[in-house]
Structure 1
Amino acid sequence: MDSEYIDAVRALVRRIPPGRAMTYGLIAEVVADQLIAAGGVGRGGPRQVGRIMAAGDGDWPWWRVVNAAGSPPAHYAERALAALRAESTPLTADGTRVALRRAVWFPEQD
Protein backbone atom coordinates (compact mmCIF):
# COMPACT_ATOMS: atom_id res chain seq x y z
CA MET A 1 0.00 0.00 0.00
CA ASP A 2 1.35 3.38 -0.86
CA SER A 3 1.61 6.31 1.52
CA GLU A 4 -0.89 8.42 -0.47
CA TYR A 5 -3.65 5.89 0.21
CA ILE A 6 -2.64 5.47 3.86
CA ASP A 7 -2.57 9.23 4.41
CA ALA A 8 -5.97 9.66 2.74
CA VAL A 9 -7.54 6.97 4.95
CA ARG A 10 -6.06 8.49 8.11
CA ALA A 11 -7.18 12.00 7.13
CA LEU A 12 -10.74 10.83 6.51
CA VAL A 13 -10.96 8.90 9.79
CA ARG A 14 -9.79 12.00 11.67
CA ARG A 15 -12.72 13.94 10.15
CA ILE A 16 -15.44 11.60 11.46
CA PRO A 17 -17.27 13.70 14.06
CA PRO A 18 -18.05 12.51 17.58
CA GLY A 19 -21.30 10.57 17.73
CA ARG A 20 -20.96 9.37 14.14
CA ALA A 21 -19.32 6.36 12.46
CA MET A 22 -18.16 5.03 9.10
CA THR A 23 -17.65 1.50 7.84
CA TYR A 24 -14.41 0.17 6.43
CA GLY A 25 -16.10 -0.19 3.05
CA LEU A 26 -17.47 3.33 3.01
CA ILE A 27 -14.05 4.73 3.88
CA ALA A 28 -12.53 2.72 1.01
CA GLU A 29 -15.14 4.10 -1.43
CA VAL A 30 -14.73 7.72 -0.34
CA VAL A 31 -10.93 7.55 -0.46
CA ALA A 32 -10.98 5.94 -3.91
CA ASP A 33 -13.29 8.69 -5.17
CA GLN A 34 -11.04 11.37 -3.68
CA LEU A 35 -7.91 9.91 -5.26
CA ILE A 36 -9.57 9.55 -8.67
CA ALA A 37 -10.90 13.12 -8.49
CA ALA A 38 -7.34 14.31 -7.76
CA GLY A 39 -6.07 12.54 -10.88
CA GLY A 40 -4.80 9.48 -9.09
CA VAL A 41 -5.88 5.90 -9.09
CA GLY A 42 -8.62 4.62 -6.80
CA ARG A 43 -7.31 1.56 -5.02
CA GLY A 44 -7.87 -0.41 -1.88
CA GLY A 45 -10.93 -1.81 -0.24
CA PRO A 46 -12.31 -2.55 3.21
CA ARG A 47 -9.52 -5.00 4.05
CA GLN A 48 -6.85 -2.45 3.21
CA VAL A 49 -8.60 0.11 5.39
CA GLY A 50 -8.67 -2.46 8.19
CA ARG A 51 -4.95 -3.07 7.82
CA ILE A 52 -4.25 0.65 8.00
CA MET A 53 -6.43 0.96 11.09
CA ALA A 54 -4.70 -2.00 12.74
CA ALA A 55 -1.27 -0.53 12.05
CA GLY A 56 -2.27 2.93 13.27
CA ASP A 57 -0.56 4.81 16.03
CA GLY A 58 -3.78 5.57 17.89
CA ASP A 59 -3.65 9.21 16.83
CA TRP A 60 -7.21 9.09 15.49
CA PRO A 61 -10.74 8.12 16.52
CA TRP A 62 -10.39 4.45 15.55
CA TRP A 63 -13.51 3.50 17.52
CA ARG A 64 -15.66 5.39 14.98
CA VAL A 65 -14.79 2.84 12.26
CA VAL A 66 -16.90 -0.30 12.28
CA ASN A 67 -17.70 -3.21 10.00
CA ALA A 68 -20.76 -3.34 7.73
CA ALA A 69 -22.88 -4.74 10.57
CA GLY A 70 -21.90 -1.85 12.85
CA SER A 71 -19.59 -3.92 15.04
CA PRO A 72 -16.32 -2.47 16.31
CA PRO A 73 -13.07 -4.48 16.10
CA ALA A 74 -13.61 -7.64 18.17
CA HIS A 75 -10.35 -7.33 20.12
CA TYR A 76 -11.23 -3.79 21.20
CA ALA A 77 -15.02 -4.02 21.35
CA GLU A 78 -15.36 -3.03 25.01
CA ARG A 79 -13.07 0.00 24.64
CA ALA A 80 -14.70 1.03 21.36
CA LEU A 81 -18.25 0.68 22.70
CA ALA A 82 -17.34 2.69 25.80
CA ALA A 83 -15.93 5.48 23.62
CA LEU A 84 -18.98 5.38 21.33
CA ARG A 85 -21.34 5.58 24.32
CA ALA A 86 -19.36 8.50 25.74
CA GLU A 87 -19.92 10.34 22.45
CA SER A 88 -23.65 9.48 22.43
CA THR A 89 -23.29 7.50 19.22
CA PRO A 90 -26.56 5.72 18.40
CA LEU A 91 -26.23 2.02 19.20
CA THR A 92 -28.48 -0.97 18.60
CA ALA A 93 -30.96 -1.91 21.33
CA ASP A 94 -28.56 -4.50 22.76
CA GLY A 95 -25.72 -1.93 22.82
CA THR A 96 -23.24 -4.11 20.94
CA ARG A 97 -23.21 -2.38 17.56
CA VAL A 98 -23.50 1.07 16.04
CA ALA A 99 -26.98 1.80 14.65
CA LEU A 100 -25.60 2.71 11.24
CA ARG A 101 -28.81 4.11 9.77
CA ARG A 102 -28.72 6.84 12.41
CA ALA A 103 -24.97 7.16 12.95
CA VAL A 104 -23.33 6.82 9.54
CA TRP A 105 -21.40 9.89 8.44
CA PHE A 106 -20.61 11.00 4.92
CA PRO A 107 -17.90 13.63 4.26
CA GLU A 108 -20.40 15.79 2.35
CA GLN A 109 -22.10 16.39 5.69
CA ASP A 110 -19.28 18.68 6.83
Structure 2
Amino acid sequence: MREQYVEAVLAVAELIPPGHVLSYGDIAALLESGGPRQVGAVMSAHGSAVPWWRVIRASGAAPVCHEGRALAHYVQEQTALRGDTTAPAPSSGRAPSWRVDVRLARWNPGDAELDLLDAIAARLTHDDAPHHQVPAAAESMSVPRDGLGT
Protein backbone atom coordinates (compact mmCIF):
# COMPACT_ATOMS: atom_id res chain seq x y z
CA MET A 1 0.00 0.00 0.00
CA ARG A 2 1.28 3.47 -0.83
CA GLU A 3 2.94 5.23 2.08
CA GLN A 4 1.05 8.45 1.29
CA TYR A 5 -2.28 6.65 1.61
CA VAL A 6 -1.29 5.08 4.92
CA GLU A 7 -0.20 8.48 6.25
CA ALA A 8 -3.43 10.12 5.05
CA VAL A 9 -5.69 7.52 6.69
CA LEU A 10 -3.78 7.77 9.97
CA ALA A 11 -3.88 11.58 9.85
CA VAL A 12 -7.67 11.51 9.48
CA ALA A 13 -8.00 9.02 12.35
CA GLU A 14 -5.97 11.38 14.55
CA LEU A 15 -8.38 14.23 13.82
CA ILE A 16 -11.45 12.40 15.15
CA PRO A 17 -12.21 13.94 18.55
CA PRO A 18 -12.87 11.88 21.69
CA GLY A 19 -16.44 10.61 21.89
CA HIS A 20 -16.84 10.56 18.11
CA VAL A 21 -16.28 8.03 15.33
CA LEU A 22 -15.99 7.71 11.59
CA SER A 23 -16.55 4.56 9.59
CA TYR A 24 -13.91 3.10 7.30
CA GLY A 25 -16.05 4.27 4.40
CA ASP A 26 -16.36 7.79 5.85
CA ILE A 27 -12.57 8.11 5.85
CA ALA A 28 -12.30 6.85 2.27
CA ALA A 29 -14.97 9.36 1.21
CA LEU A 30 -13.23 12.24 2.99
CA LEU A 31 -9.96 11.33 1.26
CA GLU A 32 -11.78 10.74 -2.06
CA SER A 33 -9.53 7.70 -2.41
CA GLY A 34 -9.78 3.98 -1.74
CA GLY A 35 -12.70 2.38 0.00
CA PRO A 36 -13.64 0.85 3.35
CA ARG A 37 -11.46 -2.23 2.80
CA GLN A 38 -8.38 -0.16 2.02
CA VAL A 39 -8.92 2.02 5.09
CA GLY A 40 -9.50 -1.12 7.18
CA ALA A 41 -6.26 -2.63 5.89
CA VAL A 42 -4.35 0.52 6.87
CA MET A 43 -5.93 0.59 10.33
CA SER A 44 -5.24 -3.12 10.85
CA ALA A 45 -1.58 -2.88 9.90
CA HIS A 46 -0.69 0.63 11.09
CA GLY A 47 -3.45 1.95 13.34
CA SER A 48 -2.05 1.13 16.77
CA ALA A 49 -0.39 4.56 17.13
CA VAL A 50 -3.63 6.47 16.54
CA PRO A 51 -7.07 6.34 18.25
CA TRP A 52 -8.05 3.21 16.30
CA TRP A 53 -11.25 2.68 18.30
CA ARG A 54 -12.71 5.82 16.70
CA VAL A 55 -12.66 4.13 13.28
CA ILE A 56 -15.47 1.60 13.05
CA ARG A 57 -17.63 -0.40 10.68
CA ALA A 58 -20.64 1.41 9.21
CA SER A 59 -22.91 -0.74 11.38
CA GLY A 60 -21.39 0.75 14.54
CA ALA A 61 -19.43 -2.39 15.35
CA ALA A 62 -16.00 -1.93 16.90
CA PRO A 63 -12.88 -3.25 15.17
CA VAL A 64 -12.96 -7.05 15.07
CA CYS A 65 -11.16 -8.81 17.95
CA HIS A 66 -10.72 -5.52 19.81
CA GLU A 67 -14.26 -5.03 21.08
CA GLY A 68 -13.36 -5.20 24.78
CA ARG A 69 -10.51 -2.71 24.50
CA ALA A 70 -12.62 -0.45 22.29
CA LEU A 71 -15.51 -0.53 24.76
CA ALA A 72 -13.23 0.70 27.55
CA HIS A 73 -12.25 3.67 25.36
CA TYR A 74 -15.86 4.37 24.40
CA VAL A 75 -16.96 4.40 28.02
CA GLN A 76 -14.05 6.63 29.05
CA GLU A 77 -14.75 9.07 26.20
CA GLN A 78 -18.53 8.92 26.71
CA THR A 79 -19.12 7.79 23.13
CA ALA A 80 -22.82 7.20 22.41
CA LEU A 81 -23.54 3.46 22.51
CA ARG A 82 -26.61 1.30 22.06
CA GLY A 83 -27.29 -2.19 23.34
CA ASP A 84 -26.10 -4.01 26.45
CA THR A 85 -22.57 -2.89 27.31
CA THR A 86 -22.57 -4.82 30.60
CA ALA A 87 -22.76 -8.23 28.95
CA PRO A 88 -19.37 -9.77 28.26
CA ALA A 89 -18.41 -10.34 24.64
CA PRO A 90 -19.55 -13.81 23.61
CA SER A 91 -16.72 -16.35 23.56
CA SER A 92 -18.30 -18.08 20.58
CA GLY A 93 -16.85 -15.51 18.19
CA ARG A 94 -20.19 -13.75 17.76
CA ALA A 95 -20.35 -9.99 17.90
CA PRO A 96 -21.03 -8.32 21.26
CA SER A 97 -24.57 -7.15 22.04
CA TRP A 98 -23.63 -3.46 21.85
CA ARG A 99 -22.58 -1.05 19.10
CA VAL A 100 -21.60 2.57 18.76
CA ASP A 101 -24.67 4.68 18.07
CA VAL A 102 -23.38 6.01 14.75
CA ARG A 103 -26.25 8.47 14.37
CA LEU A 104 -25.17 10.25 17.57
CA ALA A 105 -21.42 9.63 17.58
CA ARG A 106 -20.47 10.25 13.93
CA TRP A 107 -18.03 13.14 13.71
CA ASN A 108 -19.16 16.08 11.62
CA PRO A 109 -16.04 18.22 11.07
CA GLY A 110 -16.29 21.97 11.28
CA ASP A 111 -14.77 24.39 8.79
CA ALA A 112 -11.27 24.31 10.34
CA GLU A 113 -11.22 20.51 10.39
CA LEU A 114 -12.57 20.36 6.83
CA ASP A 115 -9.66 22.56 5.73
CA LEU A 116 -7.23 20.08 7.33
CA LEU A 117 -9.03 17.14 5.72
CA ASP A 118 -8.94 18.87 2.32
CA ALA A 119 -5.19 19.42 2.71
CA ILE A 120 -4.66 15.76 3.58
CA ALA A 121 -6.71 14.64 0.57
CA ALA A 122 -4.91 17.15 -1.68
CA ARG A 123 -1.55 15.61 -0.78
CA LEU A 124 -2.85 12.27 -2.06
CA THR A 125 -4.07 13.81 -5.31
CA HIS A 126 -0.84 15.70 -5.88
CA ASP A 127 1.31 12.69 -5.00
CA ASP A 128 -0.47 10.77 -7.79
CA ALA A 129 0.37 13.51 -10.30
CA PRO A 130 4.12 14.17 -10.03
CA HIS A 131 4.07 17.04 -12.55
CA HIS A 132 1.81 19.16 -10.34
CA GLN A 133 3.17 21.23 -7.53
CA VAL A 134 1.83 20.50 -4.05
CA PRO A 135 0.31 23.59 -2.43
CA ALA A 136 2.64 24.90 0.28
CA ALA A 137 -0.10 24.73 2.93
CA ALA A 138 -0.70 21.04 2.31
CA GLU A 139 2.98 20.13 2.05
CA SER A 140 3.98 21.81 5.29
CA MET A 141 0.89 20.67 7.18
CA SER A 142 1.46 18.19 9.93
CA VAL A 143 -1.37 16.82 12.00
CA PRO A 144 -0.62 17.23 15.72
CA ARG A 145 -0.70 14.07 17.85
CA ASP A 146 -3.65 15.31 19.91
CA GLY A 147 -5.73 15.60 16.75
CA LEU A 148 -6.90 19.19 16.61
CA GLY A 149 -3.84 21.19 17.58
CA THR A 150 -5.15 22.04 21.00
TM value normalised by structure 1: 0.84
Q: Please give the alpha-carbon distance, in whole angstroms, between the structure 2 residues aligned to 1:31 and 1:84.
A: 25
**Deviation larger for 44-53 or 54-63:** 54-63
- Contact 2:10 2:47 (8 Å CA) reproduced: no
Q: Please give the alpha-carbon distance, in whole angstroms, between the structure 2 residues aligned to 1:5 and 1:108.
A: 23
Unaligned runs of 5+ in 2: 86-97, 114-150
Q: Residue 61 of structure 2 is aligned with which of 64, 71, 77? A: 71
State the aligned residue count. 100
Match of 1:3 in 2: 3
Match of 1:22 in 2: 22
Cα RMSD, aligned residues only:
1.4
Which of the pair has more CA radius of gyration?
A: 2
Any runs of at least 4 consecutive aligned residues in structure 1 with deviations exceeding 4 A, and if so which?
none
Q: Please give the alpha-carbon distance, in whole angstroms, between the structure 1 residues aligned to 2:27 and 2:65.
A: 21
> How far apart are 1:7 and its partner, in Å?
1.0
TM value normalised by structure 2: 0.63
Unaligned runs of 5+ in 1: 33-42
Identity %: 44
